[in-house]
Amino acid sequence: MKTALITGITGQDGSYLAEFLLGKGYEVHGIKRRTSLFNTDRVDHLYQDPHVANRQFILHHGDLTDSSSLVRIIQQVQPNEIYNLAAQSHVAVSFEEPEYTANSDALGALRLLEAIRILGLEKRTRFYQASTSELYGLVQETPQKETTPFYPRSPYAVAKLYAYWITVNYREAYGIYACNGIMFNHESPLRGETFVTRKITRALARIKLGLQDCLYLGNLDAKRDWGHAKDYVEMQWLMLQQDRPEDFVIATGVQYSVREFVNAAAREMGLEIRWTGKGIEEKGYDASGNCIVAIDPRYFRPSEVETLLGDASKAKEKLGWTPRISFGELVAEMMREDLKAAERDDVVRRHGFRTYRYHE
């Protein structure tokens, strides 16, 4: 039986990957940070009581910014595979917290690779580094593939670029089986609420039920290649099952703008949005003439990444992988789940209990 260690297990990808690996018979270990609020919502359905015999799913307290915790956990777990999914993963926040972002995203990856090396696990432990399409930033060619030069545009992307190179360096210098998955945007109902796709589906659901009036967004013209996280975690696993380690771009090869995402999500609920105005004056109205989408310049980034589109030919050819879930299905699922959540809030509220309106 194989043992896997997942950093960032409480996140979107971590929870899908944990489920996937448990399905393959792995013993799955995860690292979670101690936080003042519960942060295990996404993996609570996998939780096993510590008193159960032969647990397959085990969480450890640790932190990518704490090297001794990482060395301790890796020493204990002796994993066959490490998936480094933990990160300060929000681009806009990285402008406000560049140092923390670098500490967890750049130095964090290095700490894991060093732990593998100093524990003498170079031959035993395979390492997956979650790289990102944000590395391409100001794109140098379209679509982007493994050989496209990087041009990062945010502190997040620069930190991830360091992690990318240090992964390549440790592979080449020490023969560690380490690879980068350069993943384009991947979404799901488990996506963090402050990421644009989830923000849209969540807000539209709440607007529909009268729990919210208006959705404020930044750059509606930004184009992204959006896939489903559930599809993408399978790739993370596949990359570690090859004869030799290589880096792969993972993408759908189809691109939509933020505005198109809004339209698709609205249509799922039978809403047709009428757009008027340009630039920061642009507004979206529902059939009754209520303004339900507007621009808030607060959400513009100091430097924007306008367009990302991936070419996953290499993954298709060498790993035999193509995404199974379409853009339409992704949007529909996210909308459905957020509508359920909004309905739950509505029921709770109508019965006199307090509900919260979370803001970023």
176 is an interface residue for other proteins by CB under 8 A: no
d(CA 42, CA 26) in angstroms, rounded, equals: 19
Q: How far is the CB of 165 from other proteins (least distance, A)?
A: 4
Q: Is 132 a catalytic residue?
A: yes
Q: Which of 98, 271, 313, 332 forms a contact with other proteins (CB under 8 A)?
A: 98
Question: Which tokens belong to 101?
Answer: 């972002």
Q: Indicate the residue among 153 and 191 with the shorter CB distance to other proteins.
A: 153
Does residue 245 have a cis bond before it (omega within 30 degrees)? Answer: no
d(CA 230, CA 20) in angstroms, rounded, equals: 9
Q: How far is the CB of 245 from other proteins (least distance, A)?
A: 15
Q: Which residues contact 338 (CB under 8 A, 6 or more apart)?
A: 189, 198, 201, 202, 204, 205
The DSSP output letter for 189 is T
Q: Is 322 a catalytic residue?
A: no
Nearest to 57 by CA among 36, 90, 31, 96: 31
d(CA 270, CA 328) in angstroms, rounded, equals: 14
173 is an interface residue for other proteins by CB under 8 A: yes
Site residues (CB under 8 A) for other proteins, limited to 252-311: 301-303
Q: From the candidates 10, 16, 101, 134, which is the catalytic residue?
A: 134
Q: Which of 8, 152, 284, 310 forms a contact with other proteins (CB under 8 A)?
A: 152
Return left, alpha or beta for 305; rule: phi > 0 is left, psi -120 to 50 is alpha, else beta: beta
Q: What's the sign of the alpha-carbon dihedral 180, 184, 189, 192? A: positive
x/- map, 38-67, other proteins, by CB under 8 A: -----------------------------x
Q: Is 156 a catalytic residue?
A: yes
172 is an interface residue for other proteins by CB under 8 A: yes
**Chain residues in the site for other proteins (CB under 8 A):** 67, 95, 98-99, 102-103, 106-107, 110-111, 114, 149-150, 152-155, 158-159, 161-162, 165-166, 169, 172-174, 301-303
Active site residues: 132, 134, 156
